[in-house]
């Protein structure tokens, strides 16, 4: 598939007006909002990063995974295991956590990619549930109750306990992740992965190795989700089996669907909507997700590409 047939539809972070506007909101939030609202926006960025990872795997390789909670939770539990061993330096703990997530994703990916379609979705869910039950049964990791962290990790000797400091750290991490995703999407491998998502047989006939490229995309997506889990553990200062639950995988897919699969940063907009729904409707009922259902239906019916492309059109930018 010639690169010219794909390049016009590639995302560009610099030309994404809606994305830049949202990042500006995140940057200004600590200056104008209360600490509680800043914390909510930090949560949006963390879960949005994980949702963007899921969306990347779908867009680049056609891999609809229902098991990314395993990688999200593994990132969080690596922080807990390091803390139990007496390590709190982010420059040491976080890279090791991402390495552990990458190895887990490599094993799961090698086995899962033997299948495709619905079977791939179900086998990733099965592996995620295996990880969930193994970790939730470990007494040293808090079993079903989880364990507190008692403070956030240190970054080169600098404390991240302050809400504003951690918020800006997550913002920088999110910006770097989106930048790397954009560059990968525009690379030859990214072009090939998009071709595989559209027509795997044709790309194989052109001499590409679809499974190898899909495995690379899967592992990269898992590492990004694991990084979000590392940040989530530090944000909540608590780690428990809920990070690994299949509901997390489901919510990440909902975020992608709301924000727009066609956009690399669509999951971030979906995360913003989901967190807003939770913040507003959870004040009135514990069943706040019942209001999320109609929002998803309306988004699918009237915003065919998702919320992010629709906002981009309103701002006069490209929606592809």
β-pairing verdict for 147-148 and 238-239: antiparallel
pLDDT of residue 317: 65
Element (H, E) at 162: none
Mean pLDDT of the chain: 89
Evaluate the CA torsion angle 29, 31, 32, 35 in order and state its sign.
positive
Q: Whose CA is closest to 91, among 136, 42, 137, 155?
A: 155
State the pLDDT at residue 96. Answer: 97
Q: What angle do CA 273, 54, 232 make, to 5 degrees?
A: 65
Structure-block tokens of residue 99: 């390495």
- In order of 35, 59, 167, the CA distances from 172 in angstroms are 19, 24, 9
Asked whether residue 287 carries a pLDDT value surpassing 90, the answer given is: no
Helix or strand holding residue 6 (H, E):
none
pTM to 2 decimals? 0.91
Mean pLDDT across 239-265: 91
* Residues counted in the chain: 320
pLDDT in tens, 151-166: 999 998 888 999 999 9
């Amino acid at each position: 598939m010639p690169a010219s047939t794909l390049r016009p539809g590639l995302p560009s972070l610099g030309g994404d007006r809606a994305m830049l506007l949202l990042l500006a909101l995140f940057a200004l939030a600590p200056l104008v909002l209360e600490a509680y609202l800043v914390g909510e926006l930090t949560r949006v960025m963390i879960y949005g990063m994980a949702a963007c990872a899921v969306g990347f795997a779908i867009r680049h390789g056609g891999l609809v995974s229902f098991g990314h909670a395993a990688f999200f939770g593994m990132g969080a539990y690596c922080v807990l295991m390091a803390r139990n061993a007496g390590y709190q330096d982010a420059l040491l703990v976080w890279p090791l956590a991402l390495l552990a997530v990458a190895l887990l994703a490599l094993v799961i990916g090698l086995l899962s990619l033997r299948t495709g379609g619905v079977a791939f979705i179900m086998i990733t869910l099965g592996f995620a549930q295996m990880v969930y039950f193994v970790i939730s049964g470990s007494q040293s990791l808090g079993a079903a109750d989880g364990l507190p962290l008692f403070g956030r990790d240190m970054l080169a000797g600098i404390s991240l306990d302050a809400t504003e400091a951690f918020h800006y750290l997550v913002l920088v991490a999110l910006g770097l992740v989106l930048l790397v995703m954009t560059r990968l999407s525009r690379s030859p491998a990214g072009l090939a992965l998009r071709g595989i998502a559209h027509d795997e047989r044709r790309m194989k006939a052109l001499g590409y190795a679809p499974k190898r490229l899909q495995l690379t995309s899967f592992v990269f997506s898992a590492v990004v989700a694991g990084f979000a889990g590392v940040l989530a553990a530090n944000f909540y200062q608590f780690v428990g089996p809920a990070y690994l639950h299949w509901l997390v995988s489901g919510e990440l897919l909902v975020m992608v669907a709301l924000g727009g699969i066609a956009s690399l940063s669509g999951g971030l907009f979906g995360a913003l909507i989901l967190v807003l729904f939770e913040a507003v409707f959870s004040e009135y009922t514990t069943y706040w997700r019942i209001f999320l259902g109609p929002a998803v239906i309306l988004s699918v019916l009237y915003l065919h590409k998702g919320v992010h492309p629709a906002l981009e059109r309103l701002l006069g930018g490209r929606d592809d």
